[in-house]
Amino acid sequence: MTAVPPPIRIEPFKVACSNCNLRELCLPVGMSNEQLERLDSLVAIRRTVPRGDALFHAGEAFGSLFAVRTGFFKTCVASEDGREQVTGFQMAGELLGLDGIGTDRHTCDAVALEDSQVCIIPYHQLEDLSRELSDLQRQFHKIMSREIVRDHGVMLLLGSMRAEERLAAFLLNLTQRLATRGFSGSELVLRMTREEIGSYLGLKLETVSRAFSKFQDDGLLEVRQRQIRVLDAPALQALVNGPHC
């Protein structure tokens, strides 16, 4: 039984995991060419998300995961009374929407911090295919597990670090992920506001700003608005590990 092809507009360029330059960072890690071709048939559509728009909102029905192809996102949860917490920042090759699997509804908002593009991964098809391809299954499980481990790291940060330690840890994490993607490990442009950084780190925007200024005074960073140059990464690392013990 051949399925009717879905009436969806295909992007003009070919969408294919098999020749995507992010395949070593994304869902296809560890898959053979043959397997990749089967994944291609699943991930056939991209979606463009302009800066400021939401990819999905908390409460919406869940149907697909999304892989960031280009751009930058934040995810944030909110409590009844309107408190907001940024739970993460996602860049190329990272998956969005894992929170929706448990209840079939998204539980957070995903907002593009710059004009972005995502690959759409229909979730039930992914489940079906990962029952056939154990390498795909394994990689998907690893991605979920690492998200849990990452969250535990954020808890450690929020529960036991001081303001400057939090910002240092945040910056090192960002530069490391950017370096993995071939960018300079010392030069970066923040895509988010001081307020969003603060929300992620459990701080107010003024505190974030002061910490940036302090780092600049101490010669660890060069800060010009959102342009950041890391001058002394080891010193930042020393801050993250306990300098106060």
What character string, x for contact with DNA (CB under 7 A) and - otherwise, covers 6-25? --------------------
**Binding to DNA (CB under 7 A): which residues in 145-204?**
162-164, 190, 193-195, 198, 202-204
Choices 18-26, 74-82, 187-195, 227-235; region in contact with a copy of itself by CB under 8 A: 74-82
Give the shortest CB-102-to-a copy of itself separation in angstroms: 4
For β-strands 45-49 and 221-224, DSSP reports them as unpaired
226 binds DNA (CB under 7 A): yes
Of DNA, a copy of itself, none, which one sits near residue 101, judging by CB under 5 to 8 A according to partner kind? Answer: a copy of itself
CB nearer to a copy of itself: pick between 158 and 223: 158
Of 30, 50, 52, 153, which lies in the binding site for a copy of itself, with binding defined by CB under 8 A? 153
Give the shortest CB-85-to-DNA separation in angstroms: 12
Binding site for DNA (CB under 7 A): 162-164, 190, 193-195, 198, 202-210, 212-213, 223-226
